Amino acid sequence: MQPNGVSINATNNVITLVFPESGVLDIRSRVPSEEWHIPTARYQSGKPLTVVTDGAGNRSEIALRSVGSVNNKEEWFVIGTFDDLKAAKEKKDGFKWPSN
């Protein structure tokens, strides 16, 4: 919860989050992913973006991937490949993945 963040509201049970170029979106209310949900993602053009959960899917595909939460106050996502996900997890957790 960020006091200077954007307010979010559901329309027809859908919450739409539009991210700025920085990739960081502060939200004034609770993190919406705390409730049961089905994530979907689209580019600004409207083209669908694959959503990959639990590390499944094509490792080289550009997709929305969950990095995890920080203290139940932040939810991190990355749009990229599995290697991009690993880099984001390293940044979030301070954990270095072993090389293959």
What's the Rg (C-alpha) of the chain? 14
Strand 51-52 relative to strand 48-49, pairing = unpaired
pTM equals: 0.69
Nearest CA-CA partner of 37 in 10, 19, 61: 10
Task: Tell me the average confidence (pLDDT) per consecutive run of 10 residues in the chain, 100 residues long.
Answer: 70 79 75 68 88 80 84 78 88 72
Q: How many CA atoms lie within 13 A of 63 on its CB side?
A: 21
pLDDT (0 to 100) of residue 55: 65
Nearest CA-CA partner of 16 in 50, 39, 49, 47: 39
pLDDT (0 to 100) of residue 47: 93
pLDDT (0 to 100) of residue 65: 86
